[in-house]
């Protein structure tokens, strides 16, 4: 399928969900196209969201692989395990760490995200978990620790705190907000989650932002607004931004990522972007697995000549700290004028559905499991009336889901 040893119709830089989805869609619509995925990591493309869920247990190299190596051969998609080093947009070529040059017809940047760096003294002492190799290195260090500080109380911060607790560590979870996972959960869910973490021995500190980090013997001291904390290690989870590598050299990187039009096309003709590297419009999703998958699909459709416009569609988050299921769908879209119905709030679980003009727009759930979350998914996506959604949930609960 390759026109020559170094030319590809489509080159995709990045092998996570957006890049792999784009390659799959391109193969479906372009049966004879030459496709190359450039993988910048030391293993097969994998499910990144598993990293914060299996930190305590550990994992083998390809435990979370999205596809086996044989799949790429069956799909006639070349997978190159050599990071891209530079791009020449005029020549439509790139050079990789193997010092070989590859030419492309159309290029997709799916290089993902990097942790946001805090601009405070001592920020170099923070440990960030973004890749599988990061996770392996951090786990090895955690096994030598007793006390750990986790900075950031979003979903990743909560999951990191849970995993450190499972390792038997004393954990302090610190954040600037007034409650846990504020972006995704309402007050009731945050309170349930706080009670759960505290029951498991995780100390939660609110309303504190780090000002300075210092090395103190074998450990670290973190000074915040009006408190000071000490730990053998500090894990930071304070947000992400699009990966600037390659994009900055091309002159297409903005404040938090690569801007595109609604067809995933960058300002350079023939270069598209998808996944976490994209700077989406204000209020649109970012940093979510299914959103990256969606952008990979949109980008591939347009790269392959089938026009597809990006839309701000419902997105959801699921997390299971200490085995308790938390679900949130499109909570950021809720406005103060929207109607809210709490259908369940007891020891068994919690269900709240928001609606606008009778149509469901958002849902929150705790404790009822993945089967119920799928019912909420389906109902909100089509704007089904809240009462009808919950009636379906009640039927499913009777049937034992």
pLDDT tens digits, residue range 216-275? Answer: 888 999 999 989 999 999 999 999 999 999 999 999 999 899 999 999 999 999 999 999
Q: How confident is the model at residue 40 (pLDDT cuts 50, 70, 90)?
A: confident
Q: Is the pLDDT reported for residue 401 higher than 60? A: no
Q: How confident is the model at residue 157 (pLDDT cuts 50, 70, 90)?
A: very high
Please provide the average confidence, as pLDDT, over all residues in the chain.
94
Say whether pLDDT at 308 is over 60.
yes
Q: What is the pLDDT of residue 5?
A: 56
The whole-number pLDDT of residue 393 equals: 94
In the prediction, which pLDDT does 4 show?
43
Q: Distances in Å between the alpha carbon of 103 and those of 12, 34, 37, 100, 299?
A: 12, 11, 13, 10, 19
- The predicted model scores a pTM of 0.92
Task: Give pLDDT tens digits for 22-37.
Answer: 999 999 999 999 999 9
pLDDT, position 283? 82
Q: Given a cut of 90, is residue 303 above it in pLDDT?
A: yes
Residue 308, Cβ neighbours under 10 Å: how many?
17
Q: Check pLDDT > 50 for residue 334.
A: yes
CB of 216 within 8 A of CB of 230?
yes
Which pLDDT score is estimated for 315?
87
Quick check: 295 and 257 in contact, CB under 8 A? no
Question: What pLDDT is stored for residue 2 in this prediction?
Answer: 43
The pLDDT tens digits of the residues spanning 124-150 come to 999 999 999 999 999 999 999 999 999
Report the pLDDT averaged over residues 306-333. Answer: 92
pLDDT digits (tens, 9 = 90+) for 339-371: 999 999 999 999 999 999 999 999 999 999 889
């Amino acid at each position: 399928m390759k026109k020559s040893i170094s030319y590809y119709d489509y080159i995709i830089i990045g092998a996570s969900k957006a890049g792999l989805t784009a390659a799959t869609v391109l193969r479906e619509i372009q049966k004879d196209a030459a496709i190359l995925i450039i993988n910048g990591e030391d293993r097969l493309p994998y499910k990144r969201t598993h990293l914060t869920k299996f930190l305590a247990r550990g994992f083998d190299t390809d435990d979370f692989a999205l596809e086996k190596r044989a799949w790429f051969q069956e799909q006639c998609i070349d997978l190159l395990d050599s990071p891209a080093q530079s791009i020449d947009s005029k020549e439509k070529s790139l050079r990789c760490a193997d010092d070989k040059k590859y030419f492309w017809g159309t290029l997709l940047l799916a290089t993902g995200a990097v942790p946001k760096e805090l601009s405070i003294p001592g920020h170099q002492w923070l440990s960030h978990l973004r890749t599988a190799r990061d996770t392996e290195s951090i786990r090895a260090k955690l096994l030598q620790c007793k006390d750990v500080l986790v900075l950031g109380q979003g979903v990743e911060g909560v999951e990191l705190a849970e995993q450190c607790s499972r390792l038997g560590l004393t954990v302090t979870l610190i954040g600037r907000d007034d409650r846990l996972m504020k972006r995704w959960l309402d007050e009731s869910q945050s309170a349930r989650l706080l009670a759960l973490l505290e029951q498991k021995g995780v100390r939660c500190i609110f309303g504190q932002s780090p000002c300075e980090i210092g090395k103190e013997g074998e450990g670290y001291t973190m000074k915040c607004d009006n408190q000071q904390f000490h730990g053998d290690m500090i894990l930071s989870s304070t947000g992400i931004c699009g990966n600037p590598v390659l994009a900055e050299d091309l002159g297409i990187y903005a404040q938090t990522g690569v801007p595109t039009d609604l067809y995933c096309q960058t300002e350079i003709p023939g270069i598209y972007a998808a996944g976490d590297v994209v700077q989406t419009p204000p209020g649109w999703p970012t940093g979510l697995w299914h959103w990256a998958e969606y952008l990979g699909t949109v980008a591939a459709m347009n790269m392959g000549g089938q026009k597809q416009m990006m839309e701000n569609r419902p997105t959801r988050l699921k997390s299971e700290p200490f085995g308790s299921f938390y679900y949130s769908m499109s909570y950021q879209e809720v406005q103060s004028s929207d109607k809210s119905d709490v259908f369940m709030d007891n020891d068994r679980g919690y269900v709240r559905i928001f609606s606008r003009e009778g149509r469901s727009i958002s849902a929150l759930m705790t404790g009822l499991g993945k089967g119920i979350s799928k019912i909420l998914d389906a109902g909100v996506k089509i704007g089904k009336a809240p009462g009808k959604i919950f009636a379906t949930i009640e039927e499913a609960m009777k049937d034992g889901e």
